[in-house]
Structure 1
Amino acid sequence: MIKFFRKIRQKTLTENKFGKYLTYAIGEIILVVIGILIALQINNWNINKSNIKESKEFVTRLKAEVKSNIGFTQEEIEKKENQRRSSLAILKMVGEDITKLSSKTLDSLINISMANGNMEFKNGTLNEGLNTGKVALIKSDSLKTLLYGLPSLVEEVRIGEKYMNEDLNDYFYPFIYEHISFRQMDYEHTAHGKLIGPSKFSSHNNLNVLNILKFESLIDNIFYNSNIQIDNYKRLKTELENLYELIEEYD
């Protein structure tokens, strides 16, 4: 088409018909502009198509990651609730007549109360989306808002875990090693207990810690910190469940 206009333009020039030449020149320019616009539109369409495909693939992987994290969070809630129940049971034993209490029961409760660790949490897909801009490709504003806010909520949970682990490692464990016979605990509660036998400190009674103020304070800290972490985990789980629902709607 442009070649056709060019021939007409050359002919009008040789015939000295400037008006017609100008008309055809303008027509040629318009055709070029239209061609460029069409090419840009096709390119934009291809980019949008690619972005939509990439966004859907990302959201599919994100959905699986969020589902796993909901399960991990629920596991931690159950662990911390068990820890809270055990520490509360110990607090109720403090000050009681130890001759009426079971050392085996106390050992079991201490073993549960002293558990530490960090929640397993997968964030590879989310981090990829935040770092590469894939989250920005998502059309749902409410979904994007939750995704952008999730890392800070996870960080709050990690801070709580760090504080509780430090309290256990720096204060509770050293006290327990000094005042509790782990050999006796292992003898009574583990499968290999028969191999090691009971503690040779026959006069030692683990129940005696119930009359030590520091032990009461340490157990109270565990109870207090467990409550905080349960709230943190529940808040995170709720956010993850909301996120999962939005992802399902987006699919």
Structure 2
Amino acid sequence: MIKFFRRIRFKLMETGKTGRYFKYAIGEIILVVIGILIALQINTWNENRKESLEESSILQNLYDEFSENKKMFDENIIETENAKQTGYAIMRLMGKPEELLKKQNVDSLLFIVLEPGEYRPSENTINDLIQSGRLKLLRNKKLKTLLYNWQSQLKDVKVAIERAELKIDNELIPYLSKHYALKDIDKYGALNWKENTTLKIDKYAIFNDVEFENITDDYLYRVAAAERSLKRLGTILDAILAETNK
């Protein structure tokens, strides 16, 4: 094709048709420019198509990951609520007579209180998007904002849950170790003891001890705070699922 145009130019120059030559040259330049523009448009279309396909893949990965996070969230919120309600039940037993206390399965109540649950969702997709810079491929501004809010709120959840866990590890367990039989509590856990402790201990004395009441009260305060933080995270989680499932 190039040789064809070149032959035409030479022929016009040889015959002295300068005016027609310039018109032809201008037309040729226009054709070249149009060809370049078309090539650029095709390249842009291909790039947009690739980005659109990658965006679809990202959305699918986010939806899959947060669907699993949702399952874990639902389980954890139930565990947290159970721990909180059981803690309230224990507080209602404070100062009650031993006859009433013996009608309660105190060992089981304490086991549930000591297992408030923890939430460790997957963050692989979000971290990969941020570290690789591919987050910019998402055209949904609302989704981007939700993902940033998710990470921020998740940090608050982790802090709130950690505060409750520290209360258990640093105060509740040490107190029960001195005033209760942990073996009786662990019947309901992984140790699965078949018999209670054979040691003589007044397990019901803790319900007349203000130290135990104060520890439980502060623990409940922290669990309630963790639950509120979790629920805020759950709202963001549901919104992310809605945006990635469009």
Alignment match, 1:198: 197
Alignment match, 1:32: 32
Alignment match, 2:55: 55
- Mapping 1:94-105, distance limit 5 Å: 94-102=94-102, 105=105
- Which of 213, 219, 223 is the matching residue for 2:220? 223
TM-score between the two structures when normalised by the length of structure 1: 0.87
Equivalents in 2 of 1:12, 1:206: separation in Å?
A: 112
Asked if structure 2 preserves the Cα contact closer than 8 Å seen for 1:187 and 1:198, the reply is no
1:237 aligns with 2:234: yes
- Aligned amino acid, residue 48 of structure 2: N
| Greater displacement, 133-142 / 107-116 | 133-142
Asked if structure 2 preserves the Cα contact closer than 8 Å seen for 1:93 and 1:210, the reply is yes
Change in CA separation of 1:50 and 1:240 when aligned onto 2, cut-off 3 Å: same
| Greater displacement, 113-122 / 146-155 | 113-122
Equivalents in 2 of 1:185, 1:135: separation in Å?
A: 48
- Mapping 1:58-77, distance limit 5 Å: 58-77=58-77
- Which of 192, 210, 214 is the matching residue for 2:211? 214
Equivalents in 2 of 1:181, 1:100: separation in Å?
A: 19
Q: How many residues align?
A: 245
Give the CA deviation at 1:215: 1.0
Equivalents in 2 of 1:147, 1:15: separation in Å?
A: 71
- Aligned amino acid, residue 199 of structure 1: T
Identity of aligned residues (%): 31
Give the CA deviation at 1:81: 0.8
Q: What are the ranges of 5 or more consecutive residues in structure 1 without an aligned counterpart?
A: none
For residues 37-79 of structure 1, the C-alpha deviation after alignment (integer angstroms, 9 at most, x for no partner) is 1111111111111111111122122112111111111111111
| Greater displacement, 113-122 / 223-232 | 113-122
- Aligned amino acid, residue 227 of structure 1: A
Change in CA separation of 1:43 and 1:186 when aligned onto 2, cut-off 3 Å: closer
The alignment partner of 1:183 has SS state of helix
- Aligned amino acid, residue 89 of structure 1: A
- Aligned amino acid, residue 42 of structure 2: I
Alignment match, 1:174: 174
Change in CA separation of 1:237 and 1:209 when aligned onto 2, cut-off 3 Å: same
TM-score between the two structures when normalised by the length of structure 2: 0.89
- Aligned amino acid, residue 82 of structure 1: N
Asked if structure 2 preserves the Cα contact closer than 8 Å seen for 1:2 and 1:28, the reply is no
Change in CA separation of 1:63 and 1:89 when aligned onto 2, cut-off 3 Å: same
Change in CA separation of 1:246 and 1:187 when aligned onto 2, cut-off 3 Å: closer
Give the CA deviation at 1:177: 1.2
- Aligned amino acid, residue 193 of structure 1: K
Asked if structure 2 preserves the Cα contact closer than 8 Å seen for 1:186 and 1:193, the reply is no
